[in-house]
Amino acid sequence: MGQGRRDEGTKGLRGETLRVCFVFGTRPEVIKCAPVIRCLAERDGFEVQTVLTAQHREMSDQVIDVFGVPVTVDLDLMRAGQTLSSLTAGLVERVTGALRELMPDCVMVQGDTTSCFVGALAGFYEGIPVGHLEAGLRTQDVRQPFPEEMNRRLVGSLASFHFAPTEGAKANLLQENVAADRIWVTGNTGIDALRIVSESATVASGSVLADVLAGCDGTVMTVTSHRRENQPFMSGIASAIYELIEAVPDLHVVFPVHLSPAVRDAVMPILHGVERCHLLEPLAYDQFVALMKRSDVILTDSGGIQEEAPYLGKPVLVMRRKTERPEAVDAGTVMLVGDDQATIFDRTLTLLHDGEMRERMGRAVNPYGDGYASDRVANVLMAELGTG
Ligand code: UD1
Ligand code: UDP
């Protein structure tokens, strides 16, 4: 048993305040944990703690500002161009140290990043039950996405509470012999974040984004790309975008470029200075949501954007060979276009030329929840940890 564990005799008594510690470090984790943190903080019986690994520095700070997420411990671990092993090694000791100090009753992690995996591992080592938000997503290919598919499987083995966004995710967990009574289908907490932000999300006047959109008189295509397994194809992705701008005279590409040097080094030489290609710094979450609302098409390899765009009724082309989010593909809103330059160009051009197809794909379907997943998570924690 870990040294930081609370005295078993006093843990989980009815009426006792339960400490729930969120460990997170990247932009998408903060976005998807923020509504759960807000929900628990509003309820009696919980003390929320947060350990920010800062695997992402600027990009997680941006979201922390938008949602006003409280940070209990900031490990400030990001290094430029960090490798998976150096990041993992640094995190194991530092997250463990933080948990020993904070002595939570439960550790919460989200998704599939290195911060998520190490948060779950450190919780497990310390003998603290781990709750996994967005559990059960699988492509069934450990190299795609890399290393996220493996991280999810590992967290699936380490966690005690599995919060699956969909029935399909639950089925994946059951296949891996996770006990049925440890899985709760809650919807994705990312939709909660979107529900909270989307209605009032407007482009800030006087911002760079406002200037860019004011000059976009035709079709707006938002682009994001960052996946590690796509790094060998990143120049090809940028070249496909260049060709699309040449082929479609009214096309404006708005591309907030991830801060990863692997992305910037590939994208900038090909797209910097290209007319109708607007390369931006990563946008604050509410600004990015406002941009998605204004977009006609979204071209991305992001996980979270595959969930958000259907909620907003936007067609999404996903630059991946496989997706762990098949629900929106089945619903017709998301289409896989692979990672090959020619195929990305062809399929995107087809969609840009076919207004009916865009309209059909953009019909709002939302397989990822009703925006109240956080309440369900909080109810489960109350019941399972003893305050319910
Ligand atoms: C990571 C996650 C991935 C997630 C993505 C979200 C892992 C293994 N990967 O991607 O699952 O989809 O984040 O965006 O956990 N950088 C900055 N400032 C920032 C953020 C990044 O400068 O705010 C630069 C740094 O040089 C950093 C590099 O980007 O070293 C890469 O960051 P990292 O978190 O390692 O990115 P990925 O693993 O590609
Ligand atoms: N996002 C953002 N600013 C941007 C681009 C994306 O806030 O400039 C948000 C987006 O709405 C989504 C999340 O970041 O909620 C997705 O993050 P990312 O694509 O980095 O990671 P993934 O979801 O692939 O893990």
Q: How confident is the model at residue 233 (pLDDT cuts 50, 70, 90)?
A: very high
CB distance 368 to ligand 2 below 6 Å = no
A 10 A CB-CB count for 296 gives 19
Asked if 134 is an active-site residue, the reply is yes
Amino acid at the residue 376 = R
Asked if 258 is an active-site residue, the reply is yes
Q: How far is the CA of 381 from the centre of ligand 2 (A)?
A: 27
Q: How far is the CA of 54 from the centre of ligand 1 (A)?
A: 10
Contact 358, 19 (CB under 8 A): no
The residue whose CA has the least distance to atom 19 of ligand 2 is: 302
Question: Over the stretch 165-203, which tens digit does the pLDDT of each residue have?
Answer: 999 999 999 999 999 999 999 999 999 999 999 989 999
Lowest mean pLDDT among 3-17, 42-56, 229-243: 3-17
pLDDT > 70? residue 53: yes
The whole-model pTM stands at 0.96
**Which tokens is 386 given?**
């003893």
pLDDT > 60? residue 30: yes
Amino acid at the residue 236 = G
pLDDT > 90? residue 55: yes
**Which tokens is 118 given?**
């190490």
The pLDDT > 70 percentage for the chain reads 95
Q: Considering just the CA atoms, what is the radius of gyration of the chain in Å?
A: 21
What is the structure's pLDDT at 365?
79
Strand order in the sheet with 183-185: 73-74, 46-52, 18-24, 106-110, 130-133, 161-164, 183-185
Ligand 1 is surrounded, with C-beta below 6 A, by 26-28, 55-59, 78-82, 84, 112-114, 147-148, 226, 228, 259-261, 303
What is the structure's pLDDT at 386?
78
A 10 A CB-CB count for 157 gives 11
CB distance 310 to ligand 2 below 6 Å = no
pLDDT > 50? residue 294: yes
pLDDT > 80? residue 1: no
Sketch out the chain's domains with CATH numbers: 18-188+370-385 (3.40.50.2000), 208-363 (3.40.50.2000)
CA distance 225 to 244: 16
Amino acid at the residue 283 = L
Q: How confident is the model at residue 387 (pLDDT cuts 50, 70, 90)?
A: low
Question: Over the stretch 86-131, which tens digit does the pLDDT of each residue have?
Answer: 999 999 999 999 999 999 999 999 999 999 999 999 999 999 999 9
The pLDDT > 90 percentage for the chain reads 93
What is the structure's pLDDT at 79?
93
Asked if 148 is an active-site residue, the reply is yes
Question: Over the stretch 316-357, which tens digit does the pLDDT of each residue have?
Answer: 999 999 999 999 999 999 999 999 999 999 999 999 999 999
